[in-house]
Structure 1
Amino acid sequence: MTQKIDFKKSLHGYQAPSGKYQIVEIPDRHYMMIDGQGDPNTSEEYSASLAALYPVAYALKFASKNELDRDYVVPPLEGLWWAEDMSVFTSSRDSSRWQWTLMLLVPDWIDEERISAAIAAVRAKSSPLRLDALRLETLVEGRCVQTLHLGSFEEEDRTLEPMHRDFIPSHGLEPTGKHHEIYLSDPRRTAAGKLRTILRQPVGQAKPRGLQPGAAPPEAPLRS
């Protein structure tokens, strides 16, 4: 019998501590992606995006199992979130202003030809509304700060605000990419207070700030 792989357990970055932040290096990974905007609780575009993603994901899973003898659990849903004013994530949580990219991880051994075949099979069977908006893309994140948030999505600000206000700058870092969420729980089957969500923020070395008025410039290095 083919052993079923669970990427939540086997891949680096899909485990995170609750109540503390960690700095991790995330390798480049391939995802099926689909973009949209607006409140995920009320947006028809959001639900239509899920309706396009999951049938293709399951078609890939069964093709991998039946044709390649490599079975796996369909990976957890992930999302990139951003807005012109990023405070809508860390304080105001104004979801009507959010833009997002929903994502499902694609195993490294599945190529574009098999993805195209899975999309064609889904189109022939049900043709979800947003199927043509689906794309394959490599996500490059590198160094990130992440933590495990326990609780409802509406309470993420209590986890995100200290991350951006305190932890990231105190380590000489600054945000460099889009806010990333990994949904380890199914909200249809899990009470809001028990949801488990990895919150991830790509970061880079903070740029030196300009001299304050009256401050002396740094000494130049000696040359031999």
Structure 2
Amino acid sequence: MPLEGLWWAEDMSSFTRGNREKWKWTMMIMQPSFIDTDSIGAAIAEVGLKKKTPAVAKLRFETFHEGRCAQIMHIGPFSEEGPTIQRVHDFIEERAQISGKHHEIYLSDIRRADPKNWKTIIRQPMR
């Protein structure tokens, strides 16, 4: 399952302007249906004992439902997403209203792929 990120800011135009210091985020990885709360709790406890990383306490297992969205594929580095994000926002604003958190699904392994080839699904909820 690919890594996914929810991004938001007090002013959503921060995304199209690339004003990253204003962004807040949550990272997610979808889990198979047979994984349950007890399995996740045990895994978190085990990692907490081995790694002693403060961030482990912030991990959680929850259901995520986003609803109606518009999305587009962005190919290239994250620093060049602004115009792609603007296209999605313009599309939504012509038809509905932007709602929810900016959502990205990372299809490329950025440790191995050339940034010009990174593939990211840009998704934005709408109402």
* RMSD of aligned Cα (Å): 1.1
Structure richer in helix, relative to its length: 2
Secondary structure, counterpart of 2:71 in structure 1 = strand
Q: How do 1:1-80 residues align onto structure 2 when only pairs under 5 Å count?
A: 75-80=1-6
State yes or no: 1:169 paired with 2:109.
Answer: no
* 1:197 alignment partner AA: T
State yes or no: 1:199 paired with 2:125.
Answer: no
Larger Rg: 1
Give ranges in structure 2 of 5+ residues lacking alignment: none
Aligned partners of 1:190, 1:179: CA distance in 2, in Å? 24
User: Which residue does 2:40 correspond to in 1?
Assistant: 115
Aligned residues: 127
State yes or no: 1:87 paired with 2:13.
Answer: yes
Q: What do the CA deviations read for 1:90-147 (whole angstroms, capped 9, x no partner)?
A: 1x21111111111111222111011111112212222323100111122121111011
Give the one of 125, 131, 138 matched to 2:56.
131
What percentage of aligned pairs have identical amino acids?
A: 50
* Alignment TM-score, normalising by the size of structure 2: 0.94
Using CA pairs under 8 Å that are at least 6 residues apart, name the structure with larger relative contact order, 1 or 2.
2
Aligned partners of 1:121, 1:156: CA distance in 2, in Å? 37
Question: CA shift at 1:194, angstroms?
Answer: 0.4
* Alignment TM-score, normalising by the size of structure 1: 0.55
* 2:27 alignment partner AA: L
Give ranges in structure 1 of 5+ residues lacking alignment: 1-74, 205-224
Aligned partners of 1:78, 1:119: CA distance in 2, in Å? 19
Aligned partners of 1:123, 1:85: CA distance in 2, in Å? 35
Which stretches of structure 1, 4 residues or longer, exceed 4 Å deviation after superposition?
none
